[in-house]
Amino acid sequence: MPRTIDRTQPIRRFARVVAAVDLPGVPEGTGGKVRVANGVSWYRYWVSFDNGIDLGGVGHEQLAQRRDWPQFRIDREAAALGTDLADGTDSADADDGADGPATGNSHGVPEHLLERSRLARERLGA
């Protein structure tokens, strides 16, 4: 069973990280070290990257822990392809053609509310 990555926890100071996206002067996959970690609900970091660039205000979603980097790339590729590698199914096949909680529409509005709205429009002559 593949290992899951908990991306909700903040990255601690002095942790080894990898740039998960291209940053100014720092290509994706470049390693670095967190120098300052701050934030309560929105985590951001000062990172010294291995290529000599120091960046501040790097968002949490722009970094991955170095130990998680291989699994992070696998998860990101799987999400882009629409597959779930945990059970080997294609997420497009998992819902059997349903458009969400309510069948027949792409916005997830329950079918009884759509019917109620249609009947009201008929009553009003609209």
Select the more confidently predicted residue: 121 or 104: 121
Q: Examine residue 7 and state whether it is found in any structural domain, yes or no.
A: no
Question: Which residues 6+ apart lie within 8 Å of 89 measured at CB?
Answer: 83
How far apart CA 112 and CA 54 sit, in angstroms, is 55
Split at pLDDT 50, 70, 90, the class of 1 is: very low
Tell me how far apart the terminal alpha carbons of the chain are, to the nearest angstrom.
55
State pLDDT tens for residues 66-80.
999 998 898 888 888
In this structure, the answer to whether residues 45 and 102 fall within a common structural domain is: no
65 in a structural domain:
yes
Res. 87: pLDDT tops 70: no
pTM of the model: 0.61
Q: Which residues contact 94 (CB under 8 A, 6 or more apart)?
A: 84
DSSP 96: T
Same domain, 62 and 25: yes
